Structure 1
Amino acid sequence: MAATKSTGTKSSKKSAVQKTVARKSGASRNVKLASSKRSKASHAIAAKTPVARDALLRVAAEPRLSVGERLGLRSSDDPLDLSSSVALVVDQETNEILLSKNDAAILPIASLTKLMTGLVLAEANLPMDEQITITQDDVDTYKGSRSRLAVGTTLSRGEMMHLALMSSENRAAHALGRTYPSGLQQFVRLMNAKAKQLGMGDTRYVEPTGLSSLNQSSARDLVTLVSAAYEHPILRNLSTSPSYQLDVGQRTLQYNNSNRLIRNPDWDIGLQKTGYISEAGRCLVMQAKVAGRKLIMVFLDSAGKRSRSQDAERVRRWVEAQDFVPTTHRPQG
Structure 2
Amino acid sequence: MNLGDFKMKKSIIVIILVSILLNLLPVKAYADGGPEISSEAAILMNMNTGDILYQKNADEKLSPASTTKILTAMIVIEKCKLDDVVTVGKIPLYEDGSNIALNVGEKLTVKDLLYAMMLESANDAASALAEHISGSKENFSKLMNEKAKSLGCKASNFVNPNGLYDDNHYTTASDLAIITKKAMENEVFRKIVSTVTYEIPPTNKQPKPRKLYNRNKLLSYPGYKYDGITGVKNGYTEKSKNSLVASASRGSMNLISVILKAEHSSVYKDSKALLDYGFNNFQCEKVLSMDTAICNLNVGNINIPIYPTKDFYITSSKNDKSVVYKKLVFEDDIKKINKDMNIGYVEITTKYGGKEIIPLTPQKEYSSVLYTLKYMGHSTYKKVLSPAVKALIIIAVSFLVLAITLLILSYYKKCRKRKQA
Equivalent position to 2:78, from 113, 117, 123: 123
SS of alignment partner, residue 254 of structure 2: strand
Equivalent position to 1:276, from 236, 255, 265: 236
CA drift at 1:162: 1.2
CA drift at 1:116: 0.9
> Equivalent residues in 2 for 1:177-256 (5 A)?
177-181=130-134, 183-213=136-166, 214-248=168-202, 249-256=206-213
Relative distance call for 1:329 and 1:274 in structure 2 (3 A) is: farther
Contact 2:64 2:171 in 1 (8 A): yes
Relative distance call for 1:78 and 1:113 in structure 2 (3 A) is: farther
Equivalent position to 1:159, from 88, 107, 112: 112
TM-score by length of 2: 0.55
CA drift at 1:266: 4.1
What's 1:27 paired with? none
After superposition, the C-alpha distances for 1:72-95 in whole angstroms (9 at most, x for unaligned) are xxxxx9843323111100112233
Contact 1:166 1:240 in 2 (8 A): no
Contact 2:219 2:230 in 1 (8 A): no
The one-letter amino acid paired with 1:267 is D
After superposition, the C-alpha distances for 1:264-320 in whole angstroms (9 at most, x for unaligned) are 66432334111111121111112211474111111001111x521121222233334
CA drift at 1:209: 0.7
CA drift at 1:134: 3.0
SS of alignment partner, residue 172 of structure 1: helix
CA drift at 1:218: 0.6
Equivalent position to 1:261, from 203, 209, 218: 218
After superposition, the C-alpha distances for 1:241-274 in whole angstroms (9 at most, x for unaligned) are 1011223333232211010111266432334111
Distance 1:149 1:134 in 2: 11
CA drift at 1:183: 4.3
The question of 1:108 aligning with 2:67 is answered no
Relative distance call for 1:245 and 1:133 in structure 2 (3 A) is: same
RMSD: 2.6
TM-score by length of 1: 0.68
State the aligned residue count: 252
Relative distance call for 1:109 and 1:245 in structure 2 (3 A) is: same
What's 2:38 paired with? 83
Which is higher, the Rg of structure 1 or of structure 2? 2
Distance 2:130 2:252 in 1: 37
Distance 2:124 2:251 in 1: 38
> Equivalent residues in 2 for 1:6-17 (5 A)?
none
Identity of aligned residues (%): 24
- Any stretches of 5+ residues in structure 1 without a counterpart? 1-76
Distance 1:78 1:206 in 2: 37
Q: Which has the higher helix share?
A: 1
Relative distance call for 1:201 and 1:140 in structure 2 (3 A) is: farther
The question of 1:171 aligning with 2:124 is answered yes
Relative distance call for 1:245 and 1:218 in structure 2 (3 A) is: same
What's 2:406 paired with? none
SS of alignment partner, residue 133 of structure 2: coil
SS of alignment partner, residue 270 of structure 1: strand
What's 1:317 paired with? 276
SS of alignment partner, residue 244 of structure 1: strand
SS of alignment partner, residue 311 of structure 1: helix
Relative distance call for 1:197 and 1:321 in structure 2 (3 A) is: closer
Q: Which has the higher strand share?
A: 2
Relative distance call for 1:246 and 1:218 in structure 2 (3 A) is: same
What's 2:88 paired with? 134
CA drift at 1:109: 0.6
